[in-house]
Structure 1
Amino acid sequence: MPELMAMWCQVTDIQTAALAEVKTPKPHYHVMSCKPSPEQIAYMDKLCDRAEAVAKRKVKLEIDNMLKITGDGAKACMHTKLVSPEASEWINNKLLACAWNVWQIWTITAIAKGTQAIFCDRNAPKKDRWNSYSYIRDTLVMLGIPADQIAFIHDYDTDTKKTKLFEAINEGKIRIVFGSTSKLGTGVNMQSKLIALHHIDCPWRPSDLEQREGRGVRQGNEWSDVFIFRYVTEGRNNQAGFDSFLWQAIENKQRMISQVMSGDRTHRTIEDIDETVLNAAQMKAIASGDPLIMERATLEAELQGLGMQLQAYNDRQFRDKSKIQYLTDMVNTNHPTQIQRIQADLATVANANLKQFISDRGVMLDKAVLIDWSLD
Structure 2
Amino acid sequence: MTSKARKEAMLAGLPESPIITEGLANKASLDVRLLDGEKLAGQEGRAEDDPNSKASRLVRNVADLYRSHPEANQVIFTELGISTTATRKVGPVGARMDQRYKVFSTIQDVVARLVEQGIPRDQIALVDGSTSKEKRKEVADRMNRSEIRVVIGSTASLGVGVNMQRNLRAMHHLDAPWMPGDLEQRNGRGHRQCNQWNTVLEYRYLTDRLDGRRWQVLAVKDRFIKAFLRSKGDERVIEGEAAAEEQSDILQTFAEAAGDPRILIREKLRKKIEGLQSRERLHSRGIADSQSKIRSISNRADRNEVVLSKIEKAGAVDAVDTLVAMNAGKGFSMDVDGRAMPTGRKRARRSGSGSRPTCVLVMARSEWPPSASSR
TMscore range, shorter length = 0.5 to 0.7
User: Using a 3 Å threshold, how does the CA distance of structure 1 residues 227 and 255 change in structure 2: closer, same or farther?
Assistant: farther
- Structure number with the bigger relative contact order (C-alpha 8 A, sep ≥ 6) is 1
Work out whether residues 129 and 157 of structure 2, in 8 Å CA contact, stay in contact via their aligned partners in 1. Answer: no
Q: Distance in 2 between matches of 1:106 and 1:211?
A: 23
Work out whether residues 356 and 366 of structure 1, in 8 Å CA contact, stay in contact via their aligned partners in 2. Answer: no
Work out whether residues 78 and 155 of structure 2, in 8 Å CA contact, stay in contact via their aligned partners in 1. Answer: yes
Which one has a bigger Cα radius of gyration? Answer: 2
Work out whether residues 227 and 238 of structure 2, in 8 Å CA contact, stay in contact via their aligned partners in 1. Answer: no
Work out whether residues 30 and 174 of structure 2, in 8 Å CA contact, stay in contact via their aligned partners in 1. Answer: yes
CA-CA distance at 1:163 after TM superposition: 1.3
User: Using a 3 Å threshold, how does the CA distance of structure 1 residues 168 and 267 change in structure 2: closer, same or farther?
Assistant: farther
Indicate which of 144, 154, 163 corresponds to 1:180: 154
User: Using a 3 Å threshold, how does the CA distance of structure 1 residues 268 and 155 change in structure 2: closer, same or farther?
Assistant: closer
Is 1:158 the equivalent of 2:121? Answer: no
Corresponding residue for residue 79 of structure 1: 31
Q: Distance in 2 between matches of 1:232 and 1:55?
A: 32
User: Using a 3 Å threshold, how does the CA distance of structure 1 residues 187 and 252 change in structure 2: closer, same or farther?
Assistant: same
Q: Which runs of 5+ in 1 are unaligned?
A: 1-52, 235-240, 274-288, 303-349, 359-364
Q: Distance in 1 between matches of 2:78 and 2:110?
A: 11
Corresponding residue for residue 115 of structure 1: 73
Corresponding residue for residue 66 of structure 2: 106
Q: Distance in 1 between matches of 2:158 and 2:50?
A: 29
User: Using a 3 Å threshold, how does the CA distance of structure 1 residues 259 and 185 change in structure 2: closer, same or farther?
Assistant: same
Q: Distance in 1 between matches of 2:165 and 2:231?
A: 29
Work out whether residues 171 and 190 of structure 2, in 8 Å CA contact, stay in contact via their aligned partners in 1. Answer: yes
Q: Distance in 2 between matches of 1:99 and 1:290?
A: 23
Work out whether residues 143 and 164 of structure 2, in 8 Å CA contact, stay in contact via their aligned partners in 1. Answer: yes
Indicate which of 7, 17, 22 corresponds to 1:70: 22
SS where residue 144 of structure 1 aligns? coil
Indicate which of 202, 212, 231 corresponds to 2:176: 202
User: Using a 3 Å threshold, how does the CA distance of structure 1 residues 370 and 191 change in structure 2: closer, same or farther?
Assistant: farther
CA-CA distance at 1:354 after TM superposition: 6.0
User: Using a 3 Å threshold, how does the CA distance of structure 1 residues 141 and 229 change in structure 2: closer, same or farther?
Assistant: same
- For 1:153, the aligned partner's letter is V
Indicate which of 214, 217, 222 corresponds to 1:249: 217
Corresponding residue for residue 83 of structure 2: 125
Q: Distance in 1 between matches of 2:84 and 2:319?
A: 98
Indicate which of 139, 143, 157 corresponds to 2:117: 143
User: Using a 3 Å threshold, how does the CA distance of structure 1 residues 55 and 72 change in structure 2: closer, same or farther?
Assistant: farther
Q: Distance in 2 between matches of 1:242 and 1:152?
A: 26
SS where residue 249 of structure 1 aligns? helix
Q: Distance in 1 between matches of 2:190 and 2:135?
A: 21
Q: TM-score, normalised by structure 1?
A: 0.54
- For 2:240, the aligned partner's letter is E
Residue pairs, 1:204-283, within 5 angstroms = 204-234=178-208, 241-261=209-229, 268-271=237-240
CA-CA distance at 1:244 after TM superposition: 2.9
Corresponding residue for residue 91 of structure 1: 51
SS where residue 232 of structure 1 aligns? coil
Work out whether residues 356 and 367 of structure 1, in 8 Å CA contact, stay in contact via their aligned partners in 2. Answer: no
Q: Which runs of 5+ in 2 are unaligned?
A: 41-47, 86-101, 243-257, 271-302, 322-375
User: Using a 3 Å threshold, how does the CA distance of structure 1 residues 66 and 355 change in structure 2: closer, same or farther?
Assistant: farther
CA-CA distance at 1:254 after TM superposition: 2.1
SS where residue 195 of structure 1 aligns? strand
CA-CA distance at 1:357 after TM superposition: 9.7
Select the structure that is richer in helix: 1
Q: Distance in 1 between matches of 2:112 and 2:319?
A: 102
Q: Distance in 1 between matches of 2:119 and 2:112?
A: 10
Would you say how many aligned residue pairs link Structure 1 and Structure 2?
Answer: 242
State the identity %.
Answer: 29
SS where residue 23 of structure 2 aligns? helix
Work out whether residues 71 and 122 of structure 1, in 8 Å CA contact, stay in contact via their aligned partners in 2. Answer: no
Report Cα offsets for 1:297-324 as digits up to 9, x if no partner: x99xx9xxxxxxxxxxxxxxxxxxxxxx
Work out whether residues 75 and 172 of structure 2, in 8 Å CA contact, stay in contact via their aligned partners in 1. Answer: yes
Backbone CA RMSD of aligned residues? 4.2
